[in-house]
Amino acid sequence: MQDLAALFDKSAAVLQHSLVGGRYLVAKHHLEAGDVVLQCPVLLTAQLPSWRKRICYACHRMCQARLALRCKGCEQVWFCSPACQDSTTPGSDPSHVGPEGAHKLNGLSDTQVPHQLLCPVLARFGSAKCGADMLCVLGMVLQLLGLQQLAGQAPSETQQRASAAVGAFEVLQDHAAELGKRERLEWLSALTFLRQDSTEDDLLTQAADKADNVYQPLVSALSLPNAAAQMSPQHSLHGPGGSQLLPQFPSAEPSCSSISPACQPGMQQRQPPRALLPHACRANIAEETRSDLPAESSCQDMLSGSLQQRASQRARKPSTGLQHPDVAGPKGAQTQSIDVKAKCAPTTDPADGMDDGKQQGSGGLLVSESPVLDADNFPRHPRSETSVGRVLFLQASFFNHSCHPNCYVHRNPTGATIIAMQPIAVGQELTISYIDEQLPQAARMLALQRDFFFRCNCSRCSFGLREGSSRRKAKRG
């Protein structure tokens, strides 16, 4: 908690903890509408496997053609240029990477940990047949372990990130109880996969051993009381150290369906357990025709593109539901668009075997799944978009959800800014909306239960429920 509290030192938020509600944030001082509560850098990103042959691992450039350069060690990551490939070798100068310096996306890189640390473990990812979403999350867990391992020898910024990594695991532990059986099994399989077959000089062996105080409680928290009965026959019960608690990741060409229905061609991909890693969001590609797209674009271009089109589309839509106070944008912060122009389709190489069925042949605007601002600065949730990866925000993950939030999230190229939407008194809880709060109550409840595994107890929902029951009582009486 001590480490975590320090994450908010430079913000207008204070981290609090209650036995009933867990961690939450309150206003450090009085806030006016438009005040910036905190700037939250991206902690980690991970590409979905289906995009890795189109998006350079080092600079995140999105390319039309399939990338030709691949890491010979793990065969799991692709590069757009020899410079990018060289940047992942020890001793290279990262400031020269990428033809347009696109790598200078603060935090927006899954190369924060030197690739040679991750390479031996990533090599095993080729045989992992779990869903694309879980592979993405596993990639992030791997980076977190890498950051932890670096902690002792790294500059202070990296040490801070490593301590944030521990915080991320703690968050995961705290929410393990909320998962359904399927999600727990998938997590147990994934964690076991990370530990098994590792060699002595393997990052995971070293990092997971060091992190055992975090890793083992997590495993226990995820364990089902009657694990043996819940598992499919393909799972055996050998865990690390001979434990009988864990399902082992199948080694010889398992049936995908035993791990995740997401692997089955033509099946709708399940929503990932996004609540697990704090505020792990999707970077999405909205449907748009390819002819509208530029010839080539880096993520930097993409992330700083114009919001004009979205704004004009939005302006035509009538506003419904909750009325938020008018907010002109973050005070002192330039309102930036997060739209991304991309022209390419994801890899549809059948050899991948892990393509997300939703990602078929569309390019478009890259946006975030977390709330983004429209022309009126109201949070909104883009729909019908295709995911290209996951983004992890740490500080933002401590905001509780409310269906009548007093803050909103504004995404920008290097992270997210949380902005007050109304005057907030010192000590008052700061909340954001995880979903489209303009949905009716039943749909909101469904979305929160399905995607975030909790039942909302915000004032609006509680009031709505009381209202519903008193209406029913009135009818009966």
Ligand X SMILES: C[S@@+](CC[C@H](N)C(=O)[O-])C[C@H]1O[C@@H](n2cnc3c(N)ncnc32)[C@H](O)[C@@H]1O
Binding site for ligand X (CB under 6 A): 22-24, 171, 174-175, 178, 275, 278-279, 397-398, 400-402, 452-454, 456-458
Find the helix or strand (DSSP H, E) in which 309 lies: helix 308-316
d(CA 229, CA 32) in angstroms, rounded, equals 54
Tokens 């791997």: give the residue: 142
Is residue 304 exposed (0-12), middle (13-18) or buried (19+ Cβ within 10 Å)? middle
Q: State in angstroms the smallest separation of the CB of 18 from ligand X.
A: 9
Contact status, residue 93 vs residue 27, Cβ threshold 8 Å: no
Q: Please, what is the minimum distance in Å from the beta carbon of residue 207 to ligand X?
A: 23
Q: Is 42 helix (H, G, I), strand (E, B) or coil?
A: strand
Q: Please give the backbone phi and psi of residue 105, each rounded to the nearest 5 degrees, phi first.
A: -90, 95
By beta-carbon proximity to ligand X, the closer residue of 314 and 460 is 460
- Which C-beta is closer to ligand X: that of 327 or that of 430? 430
Give the CA distances from residue 376 to residues 311, 338, 423, in Å, rounded to whole numbers and listed in that order: 8, 15, 18
Q: In angstroms, give the least distance from the CB of 275 to ligand X.
A: 4
Calpha distance 76→86 (Å, rounded): 16
Contacts of 449 (CB under 8 A, 6+ apart): 455
Question: Which residue's Cβ lies closest to ligand X?
Answer: 22
Maximum CA extent, the chain: 77
To the nearest whole angstrom, how small is the minimum distance from the Cβ of residue 433 to ligand X? 9
Q: Which run of H or of E encompasses 416?
A: strand 415-420
Between residues 174 and 326, which has the closer beta carbon with respect to ligand X? Answer: 174
User: What does DSSP assign to residue 305?
Assistant: S
Separation of alpha carbons 386 and 283, rounded Å: 8
Between 173 and 412, CB nearer to ligand X: 173
**Shortest Cβ distance from residue 402 to ligand X (Å)?**
6
Among 48, 2, 27, which residue's Cα sits nearest to residue 369?
Answer: 48
In whole angstroms, the minimum distance from the beta carbon of 17 to ligand X comes to: 7
Classify strands 78-79 and 22-27 as parallel, antiparallel or unpaired.
unpaired
Q: Smallest gap, in angstroms, from Cβ of residue 362 to ligand X?
A: 30
Select 74 or 432, whichever has its Cβ closest to ligand X.
432
**Range list of H helices, 151-291:** 156-175, 181-195, 203-210, 212-222, 227-230
Q: What angle do CA 390, 396, 397 make, to 5 degrees?
A: 75
User: Whose Cβ is closer to ligand X: residue 22's or residue 468's?
Assistant: 22
Which among 264, 259, 189 is positioned nearest to 222, based on CA atoms?
Answer: 189
